[in-house]
Amino acid sequence: MSLFGTKLREDCLVAVNKLIESTVPELSKITGGSKTAIKNIVTGLEDVGVLVSRFIGRSKVYRINDRYPNVEELKALLHSIGMNRPEFLKQLGSLNLTPNNPA
């Protein structure tokens, strides 16, 4: 069980927070979730305002909505969750993705 409903939803949020921006295929590769499941998650999070998206070429890229209420607290919580899951962060770092977050 996860604070965010499911482990997959939590993984998506932690990954987007760490990478700054990510696509459905990237999140699928990172989390091991199907592209359909990831698409449903990010669409739902976008519908409630947690995520926003934009197109870069033909790719739809998602990020945490900086206008979401208490966004800094949300980002800090997601960072803390990630720090308590070093295996997930290691997996994030080992994938061949374009890094948006040099930290």
pLDDT in tens, 22-53: 999 999 999 999 999 999 999 999 999 999 99
- Residue 79: pLDDT band by 50, 70, 90 thresholds? very high
| pTM recorded for the entire structure | 0.88
Q: What is the pLDDT of residue 40?
A: 98
β-bridge mates for residue 94, sequence order: none
Q: Please give the class, per CATH, of domain 7-93.
A: mainly alpha
What is the average pLDDT score of the chain? Answer: 91
* Domain regions of the chain by residue span: 7-93
Q: What is the DSSP string of the chain?
A: --TTSSHHHHHHHHHHHHHSSB-HHHHHHHH---HHHHHHHHHHHHHTTSEEEEEETTEEEEEE-TTSTTHHHHHHHHHHHHHT-HHHHHHHHHS----S---
More confident residue, 75 or 101: 75
